[in-house]
């Protein structure tokens, strides 16, 4: 094999193999459901004309 071609082929192989990585992130189902319920409740409150809930950061806008 050619001395110039070997390092190029090796680098291409390393790049190709490192590109085949998958990262899976799993969220706890109970926490996701609780957050979704809270968002839905807030949306319904806004639609019904109820006052918006106080911000959790002490009431100062960011």
**Is pLDDT of 22 > 60?**
yes
Structure tokens at 48: 């019904």
Return the half-sphere exposure (C-beta side, CA atoms, 13 A cut-off) of residue 14. 6
> According to the model, what pLDDT value does residue 34 have?
93
Mean pLDDT value across residues 20-35: 83
Backbone angles phi, psi at 6, to 5 degrees: -60, -50
Structure tokens at 47: 């639609």
**Is pLDDT of 6 > 70?**
yes
**Is pLDDT of 12 > 60?**
yes
Can you tell me the distance from the alpha carbon of 11 to that of 39, in angstroms, rounded to the nearest whole number?
Answer: 49
The whole-model pTM stands at 0.36
pLDDT in tens, 29-56: 888 899 999 999 999 888 777 555 666 6
């Amino acid at each position: 094999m050619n001395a110039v071609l070997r390092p190029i082929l090796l680098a291409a192989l390393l790049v190709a193999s490192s590109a085949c990585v998958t990262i899976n992130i799993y969220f706890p189902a109970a926490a996701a459901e609780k957050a979704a319920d809270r968002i839905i409740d807030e949306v319904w409150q806004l639609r019904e004309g109820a006052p918006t809930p106080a911000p959790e950061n002490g009431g100062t806008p960011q």
